[in-house]
Structure 1
Amino acid sequence: MEILFNLGLNHVLTDIFIRLDPKSLKHSRLVSQKWNNFIRHHIWDSRKQKEILRRNLWRVGNFSLHQFQSRVSITSILSDNSSIAVGYTNGCAASLDINTGEVINEYVVKPGTCDRFMSSQT
């Protein structure tokens, strides 16, 4: 790697660093001041490279597919390791168990508008 730094092959170095998973990229900054400065200036300070990093995040991790049926159109979805939050076009929202799809809680804006609009299939 030092040869690449010494030869000024920034485009090659950028390509190498941008392909690392987030944890490895973070650890690479600890190798030396030179690596830290390069990553900071050529990766983090670059709008283009940050966008590539964001896209690459989807390739890291273990993902599973769950299908849920809804009688109302969905406007937004957010999840963590245990639940899924779903917003609907009728102004209602629900939190679902990520493993079973069961409704944990429903959030109603107008009474009567969200009468059990979810059924799940995993």
Structure 2
Amino acid sequence: MLGRKAINVVILDVRELTSIADVFIIGSGRSNRQVIAIADFLLLELKKQGIKPLSVEGKKEGHWVLLDYGHVIIHIFYEPVRSFYDLEELWIDAKRILITQKPGNKMQEPE
């Protein structure tokens, strides 16, 4: 996601909280077009590795795109929509791993 300039990328470990997935990856774009571009990039890169989604939702509108890979669900939001739904608050008890905004940097856990 960082390669397409996604912002505020967060990983939530939800395996102890729900059976629908182990991990949510949440990121945002600054426009609907950018959200769609991020989704297209992820779909293509994962397809190259032989990984296909179980479901893709919201890609046409670009407000909230959901890529369901079974154990991993990727949410890509237009930033104002992300603020409205606030999944991080909804899953407040999930362990969080923040991603640095520079590609190539290692993941960092929040302090």
Structure with greater helix percent: 1
TM-score bucket of the superposed structures, by smaller chain? under 0.3
Q: TM-score scaled to structure 1, two decimals?
A: 0.20
Structure with greater strand percent: 2
Q: TM-score scaled to structure 2, two decimals?
A: 0.21
